[in-house]
Structure 1
Amino acid sequence: MKGKVIFIGAGPGDPDLVTVKGRNVIEKADVIVYAGSLVNKEVLNPRKEDCVVYNSAVLNLEETTEICREATSKGQLVARVHTGDPSIYGAIGEQIRELQKYDIEYDIIPGVSSLFGTASVLETELTLPEISQTVIITRPEGRTPKPRSESISSLSKHQATMCIFLGIGMIDKVVDELLVGYSEDTPIAVVKKATWDDQEIIRGTLKNIAQKVKDANITKTAMIVVGDVLNPGDFTPSKLYDPNFKHEYR
């Protein structure tokens, strides 16, 4: 019997935010490869006693692929557990490409992105009528290159809601690029470890957020959200629940 690799989005941190489907696979898995400190280890608690667990933080792509190849050749089920939703900065594309080389069967189970965990703890709707109807998901350029047209400075000119992954370690650079399109009074929030027990939330404006982040000594595992949806004041409600508007999606 051929084995299988199943990529699972573990959610943003709260172990109850993993999907039922994802948890069912974790319960049945013979092997689990999880994404290090980014994944709350409580997510792995339902596993079998004899399940073999690997921390991918100390593995390279070749080593991870070999674990999957060996396990599936024995007919075993491998749960590849990623933080949030694996389709956003989860590096599953390169892993899938390697699995395909060995004709290893795989599936993907989506998860609650840290982006949405962040929005929930900020108690914010990211798309408010007449304020922003667009959400830009991006990251600053670091060791991973970006197309020039996708620079934060270019994207900032849309003045839409922007959610920035993997940027807290270069907060000064991120703010400088954001100021190309947004005003310095634009509200911004930084959330470290959203939905974890030890989450931290910092609110400010583009004028003062960098210093606030430094004062809090936040250097990793944080999401940056910028845009007027964070402090909208009065705004026009949507038509969804307008008494004079009939809507099939209500």
Structure 2
Amino acid sequence: MINSKALRDRQYIRDNSKKGRVVFIGAGPGDPELVTRKGYRIIKEADVIIYAGSLVNPEVLAEHKRDAEIFNSAHMNLEEMVEVMEKATQQGLLVARVHTGDPSIYGALAEQIQALRNRNILYEIVPGVSSLFAAAAAVEAELTRPEVSQTVIITRPAGRTPKPERESIKYLAQHQATMCIFLGVNMIENVVLELKEHYPEDTPVAVVKRASWPDQEVLRGTLKDITAKVEAAGIKKTALILVGEALSDDPVVPSKLYQAGFSHEYRDQ
């Protein structure tokens, strides 16, 4: 029986084999060894690289092609980036758009994809290791501890970029789930005030600056004292705030998954 989808896929590959494309790459949180193998390969093969220079570790690009054109998106607006992408792909070239962490979180990915679709430019997305998970590794925490928290909320405070009121930190805090707050350390006092509307003052907090970089810095405290610790350390950017009882040193309740008396399809009771 003929597989019509397979035929369409082969036709798509034939039709586009000579066209250039853009590959969005999550370059990880900082440590160059945390780039996926696929992302690393694309960077090595790319004819044009556009990278977030304010955040991406330059070592991630260390093995780029000698004749690759490299652009720092920190100095570009959306239109300028898309113009570079369009010009390169029209010449059949491979463009690596290198984001920090994973591009699906606060990466302005949607607007770039929309612009490429409007111009019929081929693209692909390669996921990366988010700084959220590098921060969790740095504080040696399981963010979804059994019987403590099974939910992780990823958010940011309102700043120059507004957010819906229903997503305000004080509203989300009602759930008392594990919360990861991006782009908020420079307004730590206000963030803590909103959190304390629903979290107890003794709720554990960790602030991780430049997770996975050689100069990584970790501060631990509670909602009662974390503001003073952050201010004393002079941390004002490139840091994540982790909040919740999942960060506590309390004895861990074992999960059902590995309990001897708990059966599932791979293990009989």
Task: Give the TM-score normalised by the residue count of structure 2.
Answer: 0.91
Distance in 1, Cα, partners of 2:201 & 2:39: 42
Q: Indicate whether 1:147 and 2:164 are aligned.
A: yes
Cα shift readout 1:102-135 (whole Å, capped 9, x = no counterpart): 1100000000000000001111000111111110
**1:118 lines up with 2:147 in the alignment:** no
Identify unmatched segments of 5+ residues in structure 2: 1-17
1:182-193 to 2 correspondence within 5 Å?
Answer: 182-193=199-210
Please name the residue that 2:237 is paired with: 220
- 2:113 corresponds, among 88, 93, 96, to 96
Q: Which residue of 2 aligns with 1:2?
A: 19
Q: Which has the larger radius of gyration?
A: 2
Q: Distance in 2 between matches of 1:211 and 1:66?
A: 46
Residue of structure 1 equivalent to 2:257: 240
Q: 1:10 to 1:249 in 2, by over 3 A?
A: farther
Equivalent residue letter for 2:79: E
How well do the aligned residues superpose, as a CA RMSD in angstroms?
1.0
Q: Distance in 1 between matches of 2:60 and 2:127?
A: 15
Count residues with an aligned counterpart.
250
1:246, distance to aligned residue in structure 2 (A): 1.9
Once residues 46 and 245 of structure 1 are traced to their aligned partners in structure 2, the CA distance between those partners, rounded to angstroms, is 49
* Aligned residue number for residue 34 of structure 1: 51
Q: Deviations over 1:168-201 (max 9, x none)?
A: 1111110011011101111100000000000100
Once residues 248 and 45 of structure 1 are traced to their aligned partners in structure 2, the CA distance between those partners, rounded to angstroms, is 46
Mark the runs of 5 or more structure 1 residues left unpaired by the alignment: none
Q: Which residue type is aligned with residue 132 of structure 1?
A: S
Q: Secondary structure at the match of 1:36?
A: coil
What is the percent sequence identity of the aligned residues? Answer: 63
State how far apart, in whole Å, the 1-side matches of 2:66 and 2:20 are.
Answer: 19
CA distance in 1, matches of 2:25, 2:160: 26
